[in-house]
A and B are shown apart, each in its own frame.
Chain A
Amino acid sequence: MSSAAQGALGALPAPGPLQRLSNALYLHPRLLLLLLLTPPLLWLGVIYLGSLFSLLLQSFFYIDEFSGVVVREFSLATYHQLFTLANFDIILRTSAMAAVVSVAAAALAFPLAYYMVRYASTRMKALLYLGVMLPLWSSYLVRVYSWKLILAKEGILTWLAEQLHLTWLLDAVLALPVIGGPSLSTSDIGTFLVFLYVWLPFMILPVVAALERVPRSLIEASADLGAHPGETFRKVIWPLALPGVVAGSIFTFSLTLGDYIIPGIVGSSHPVIGQAVYAHQGTAGNVPLAAALTIVPIAIMAVYLSVAKRLGAFDAL
């Protein structure tokens, strides 16, 4: 009689070490949970939250005007500096840019996402997913520099405007106060276009995910109860898709608030928060002000999320 048959007939075969380990984990689910959670908690708790906390701490120090040395004492002086005209302008313009980029991204993403979920065949949907993700496979810098070429004074867009006899329109747009400039690549309009392009996938994907969870029967039920398509959109589809739009806007908003590379390549000479942080912690050596400026996007996001929550954006979750 073979040993395997003996094992099957008599007592269970003695478990190997791996088998014993998985048995132990199966019988002690809490141990398994602990093992699963330790790495992410270490990462999030110590490295991520820890550095965030030290950042917060830094923002309460201040720099000595004469010596340029960081004074490690509690003070709100640095936060006061945020409200100087120059700094406040940076915060305001960056926030406005982030808001406009988010709204435009939502407006562009929603119809596409709706098409992908409701109408596209499986094959078409796969192609569209690929199309949305494809830009993320190439270097961010390459894409931004390509946009500089497109938007430059001698670039493709100017050429196209000439061919279409729309140069007057381009000039009129560039003549707009504040957001205009000598060329698209050196104006806030250009920065906006590049931001919109770069962050659009981060809006499309969550909106698709949210719409996926709106079953067709809900739309039919709404029509069945007498609602015209417009009413169905306002009362059923939009409220249910809102968490996805908010999730997407968290990406587009915070990524725009934090970015310092795009405005450096395409844009006006007015710095954004990211560039200011970069300048203060680097050449200027004013780490406390850089830290305080970094707290700004965090505070804005916190306010934004609490407002969204109050408006019921997460009720459908």
Chain B
Amino acid sequence: MPEAIPAVRFAGVRRHFGEVRAIDELSFEVADGEFFSLLGPSGSGKTTCLRLIAGFEQPDAGAIEIHGINVAGVPPYERDVNTVFQDYALFPHMNVGQNVEYGLMIRKVPAAERHRRAEEMLDLVKLTGLRERKPAQLSGGQRQRVALARALINRPRVLLLDEPLGALDLKLREQMQVELKALQRQVGITFIYVTHDQGEALSMSDRLAVFNLGRIEQIDTPTALYEHPASAFVAGFVGVSNVCEGALAQRLAGAPASFAIRPEKIRIAREEVSAAQGCDSAIGKVESVVYLGAATRYLVALDGGGSLAVLYQNADDRDTGLAAGTRVRLSWLPRHRQPLSGQRA
């Protein structure tokens, strides 16, 4: 069997804006049908990466292939990809139906088929009956769905999404995350999803690439990325982590090699309670207590320097007396230490 052609392939792609290295020697592949996220802080190059695939930018060096075809010099209107823009970019002078049909109208699809497919698309994104509305008369969530329908109606082979949920409130965002993922499975199109929200990326993606300063720090599945971050940057950006380096690492683990440990993997108890068999432990004093609803976050200053954040589920058996100033013992299983390479950002 021949090796499957990736939906998108970057080979040594570079894009600089003057002195700013938006993207530097980037190489990666996105498999066909994959939900692939580009995660990173703002200015890390993820949006530039998306714009290179869409064709709004041209690389300074390297090659980009879409389904095996080198797209150097191919303008956006000749690429088989569509984009859902961060600001939705709906045409304000057209109603919802005209917006959704735009791509088909450009391709000279007959009006009857256009209407039928637009109707289907609006059903798919749950906007049935809103085709006469103008974008200005829609809520943020509805506009987002129109933008999605307008892109999907063209049946692109790759759909690019540039922080499409960024402008929505939390409840709606969580709902849309579930819907987007379901939609992607339903239509079977490759989704390339740009976000700076690690929770979003973890919950939706098959794989994700963590961007930092125009380079990819790590590409992996959400579980692997969370459980085995390759660098201090990834550990800190994907989820919250205690990064222990140098002397602190030496004291806690017996070796100076840097490691990270997730706050929820650390158990917290009063100093006099001894740690379970086989656990590493450290003694310290509670510095602050933040009640988060489902869990409580403690910041513990360790004896001998350094501090660790601890996340403790608010279950029934929780010790509620651990106020600031309490002497506590922290313990964790050695296997939860995640060894790190690379520099801390």
Binding site for B on A (CB under 8 A): 215, 217-218, 220-228, 231, 235-236, 239-240, 312, 315-316
Known A-B contacts A225-B82, A225-B106; A220 and B92 likewise in contact (beta carbons under 8 Å):
no
Distance of B51 from chain A, by nearest CB (Å): 8
Contact of B92 (CB < 8 Å), options: A224, A228, A312, A316: A316
Least CB distance from B89 to A in Å reads: 4
Does the CB pair A236–B103 fall under 8 Å? no
> In the complex, what distance in Å separates the CA atom of A217 from the CA atom of B91?
10
* Contact (Cβ within 8 A) A218 B77: no
What residues of chain B lie closer than 8 Å to A231, measured between beta carbons?
106
Beta-carbon contact of A226 and B89 below 8 Å: no
Question: How far, in Å, is A134 (CB) from chain B's closest CB?
Answer: 32
Residue from the list A215, A240, A312 in contact with B87, Cβ < 8 A: A215
Task: A235 to B86: give the CA distance in the assembly, Å.
Answer: 22
| 22 A–B contacts from the bound complex (CB under 8 Å) | A215-B89, A217-B86, A217-B87, A218-B89, A218-B91, A220-B54, A220-B56, A220-B76, A220-B85, A220-B89, A221-B83, A222-B102, A223-B55, A223-B76, A224-B151, A225-B82, A225-B102, A225-B103, A225-B106, A225-B150, A227-B77, A315-B93
* Distance to closest chain B CB from A65 (angstroms): 55
In the complex, the chain B residue whose C-beta lies closest to that of A239 is B93
Chain B interface SS verdict (over half): loop
Judge whether B107 is part of the interface by a CB distance below 8 angstroms: yes
Residues 146-178 of B at the A interface (beta carbon under 8 Å): 150-151, 154
Task: Determine the interface band of chain B, counting residues with CB < 8 A from chain A.
Answer: 20 to 34
CB-defined contacts of A239 to chain B, threshold 8 Å: 93
User: By the criterion CB–CB under 8 Å, are B93 and A224 in contact?
Assistant: no
- Give the chain A neighbours of B102 by CB distance below 8 A: 222, 225, 227, 235
Per the bound structure, the CA–CA distance linking A221 and B56 in Å amounts to 10
Report A124 CB to chain B, min CB distance, Å.
Answer: 17
Known: A220-B76, A316-B93. A226 touches B103 (CB 8 A): yes
Rank and list the top 6 A-B pairs by shortest CB-CB distance, nearest first. Answer: A221-B89, A225-B103, A217-B89, A223-B76, A316-B93, A226-B106
B-chain residues with CB within 8 Å of residue A227 when the two chains form the complex: 77, 102, 106
B75 at the interface (CB under 8 A from A): yes
Q: Mark B106-139, 1 if CB is under 8 A from A, else 0.
A: 1100000000000000000000000000000000
Compute how far the CA of A170 lies from the CA of B266 in the bound complex, rounded to whole angstroms.
Answer: 91
Q: Is the CB of B56 within 8 A of A226?
A: no
**B79: nearest residue on chain A (CB-CB)?**
A224
Assembled-state Cα–Cα distance A231/B77 (Å):
11
B93 touches A240 (CB 8 A): yes
Query: In the complex, A239→B92 CA distance in Å?
Result: 10
Give the distance in Å from the alpha carbon of A136 to the alpha carbon of B227 in the complex: 68
Known: A215-B89, A239-B93, A240-B93. A224 touches B82 (CB 8 A): yes
- CB neighbours (8 Å) of A226 from chain B are 77, 103, 106-107, 154
Please tell me if the beta carbons of A224 and B106 are within 8 angstroms of each other in the complex: no
Least CB distance, B102 to chain A, in whole angstroms: 5
**A-chain residues with CB within 8 Å of residue B55 when the two chains form the complex:** 223
**A312 CA to B90 CA, complexed, in Å:** 18
Q: Which residues, 293 to 317 on B, are CB-close (under 8 Å) to A?
A: none
Interface 1/0 per residue, B39-56 and A, CB below 8 Å: 000000000000000111
The residues of B that contact A218 with a CB separation of less than 8 Å are 89, 91
Shortest distance between the CB of A222 and any CB in chain B (Å): 7
Q: Which of B86, B87, B154 contacts A225 (CB 8 A)?
A: B154
Give the docked Cα–Cα distance between A231 and B76 (Å): 14
Contact call A224/B83, Cβ cutoff below 8 A: yes
Bound together, the chains give a CA A316 to CA B98 distance in angstroms of 14
* Chain A residue contacts of B82, Cβ below 8 A: 224-225
Pick the residue among A223, A235, A316 that contacts B77 (CB under 8 A).
Answer: A223
